[in-house]
Amino acid sequence: MQGAVIRQRIKRLTRQQLSGGLRGVERECLRVTPAGRVAPTPHGEELGSALTHRYITTDFAEALLELITPPVKSTHDVSDWLAALHEFVLAQLDGEQLWTPSMPPAISSDRQLLPARYGSSNIGMLKHIYRLGLANRYGPRMQAIVGIHFNYSPPPDFWGSLPDLESPPSGIVAKRSSWTMGQMRNVRRLAWMPTYLLGASPAFHGSLSRVRTADLRKGRKGTLYAPDATSLRMSSLGYTSALQAGLVISANSLHEYVRDLEAAVHARHAAYGKIGVRVRGRYRQLSDSVLQVENEYYSAARPKRRIRRGERAATALRRRGAEYLELRLVDADPFEPLGVSEASMRFLEAFLLYCLLEESPPMAADEYLACVSNLDDTAWRGRARGIRLIRNRRRIRLDNWGLEVCRAMMPVCEALDGGAGGEYSAALKAARASLRDPGLTPAARVLDELSDAGWDHQAWGMEKARLASRPPRARPNAARRRALKDEAPASLARLLAMESAPEPPFDEFLARYLEKG
């Protein structure tokens, strides 16, 4: 990758075009009891409807919250929204706390992780059955691993200043999609880098997984850890699928991406066929295909488009193109009550902008599989001295490659800062320091705390949850607090209206959804 290309493309853009994009965060976190167990309580009405609330929903389980900021124009606004959501949720929890690490607390039984429910509407039933399918396919414990999703899109006038990637030019929607898929290919190539820099899950409670490898060591009271790991969440032990490890979804164009996803949604799989779709009148999964729906595909990043009610993700992309990129690599930061720091978000924004502006040749299957290998190696052993990754079919030291990328990112950060020495440049400087010294990474800090204070993973996680229950350093924006207070009853009213409206039988709805979406 050549920094000269970046500088040429930046010259085409104003600072407003570079810095005026939208960013947002989806934060996953478990509700836990004072004893540090997954909360057995359902998603409470005081939080609103998990189906229709704009900002608060559930992920896999009833106890697994997903807090969603709207897209906003500044990192500070993202942080303020996260603070408002954090404060509002904590105020509704009766003695419960929010578990901040990515790896879950001790889980004694799969029954502790009840798949989330969304009411009696067809869409609500579809979401619940999809989660039953996840539990039956992968086990519920894997679904309790949480992370941070960072969403980013440049402003609308950004695209007009960039050259067309297709000949002849085919319009702004196709142009935006072509550039976004190039961005996604570069994210795949460099997925190991945010994993190294922001990974914070080198340890977990042994009840999470029966997997034991030579990389794992025993810690206190059931704790397992990998001494050189960065993010076991992103490793083959974590939020992954053995079947999907060999599933290659092309990012060479939006057309190919949608084509491959839809093929996986319609390709039956023998192992899932043995589970059964509907057994004795009860659904166990939506289908016996490789993917029930597109969102089941585990990936470093996804091109996204806001969907309409009853519309599948691939259909929305095919009809209206890519709207933004969702980065899914980021561990929850256990040292940040809100799950992610403003400095980390600034680095991620600069990283995604770099991936967008840098050259991005098509990716063959062998390069994609090398990217998968690089990510897993970094997740398991990224802090090992001298670790080497694969680039252009040759081995290169992780630290040297990362420092090369940091140098190429400098003009991006300077442009975002409006000159050298600003907050984006400071975030990049911290990244360079961590590449030179693995001891500065969040993962190293986690293991240092476990060792120095004599914590086991469970007790350490509860201490982080306790600290996160303190009032925020600064009260969030009053208008945002009011918006959250008003949204809970409004979402319940929308749910009631949805469930009162006439609908076809669920079987008919599901068949149509899976066929056409």
Lowest mean pLDDT among 36-50, 56-70, 181-195, 205-219: 205-219
* pLDDT for residue 243: 67
Structure tokens at 340: 């992610």
Cβ–Cβ < 8 Å for 8, 130? no
List the domain boundaries for the chain.
3-515
Give domain 3-515's CATH architecture: 2-Layer Sandwich (3.30)
Task: Round to whole Å and give the CA distance between 338 and 475.
Answer: 13
Q: Considering the entire predicted model, what is its pTM?
A: 0.96
Length of the chain: 517
Q: Is pLDDT above 50 for 369? A: yes
- CA quadruple 117, 121, 122, 127: dihedral, nearest 10: -20
Alpha helices in 170-312 (DSSP H): 172-189, 192-198, 242-245, 254-266, 270-275
Q: What's the pLDDT tens digit per position in 316-363? A: 999 999 999 999 999 999 999 999 999 999 999 999 999 999 999 999
Task: Round to whole Å and give the CA distance between 182 and 362.
Answer: 8
* pLDDT for residue 166: 66
What phi and psi values does residue 421 have, to the nearest 5 degrees?
90, 10
Report, as an integer, the average pLDDT of 285-296: 96
